[in-house]
Chains A and B, each alone.
Chain A
Amino acid sequence: SAVISQKPSRDICQRGTSLTIQCQVDSQVTMMFWYRQQPGQSLTLIATANQGSEATYESGFVIDKFPISRPNLTFSTLTVSNMSPEDSSIYLCSATLAVQETQYFGPGTRLLVL
Chain B
Amino acid sequence: GENVEQHPSTLSVQEGDSAVIKCTYSDSASNYFPWYKQELGKRPQLIIDIRSNVGEKKDQRIAVTLNKTAKHFSLHITETQPEDSAVYFCAASKGFGNEKLTFGTGTRLTIIP
List residues of A whose CB falls within 8 A of some B CB. 30-31, 33, 41-45, 48, 58-59, 92, 94, 96-97, 100-108
Q: How many residues of B contact A (CB 8 A)?
A: 22
Give the docked Cα–Cα distance between A92 and B43 (Å): 8
| Across-interface contacts of A97 in B (CB, < 8 A) | 97
Say yes or no: A101-B97 contact (C-beta < 8 A), given A42-B104, A43-B103, A107-B43.
yes
| Structural contact, B89 and A103, CB atoms closer than 8 A | no
A94 to B46, CA, bound (A): 11
Inter-chain residue pair count (beta carbon < 8 A): 53
How far apart sit A102 and B44, CA to CA, in the bound complex (Å)? 13
Q: Are B49 and A106 in contact, CB atoms less than 8 angstroms apart? A: no
Q: Return the chain B residue nearest A58 by Cβ.
A: B100
Contact for A101 among B36, B43, B98, CB less than 8 A: B98
B 85-113 to A, binary, CB cutoff 8 A, 1 in contact else 0 = 00001000000111111111110000000
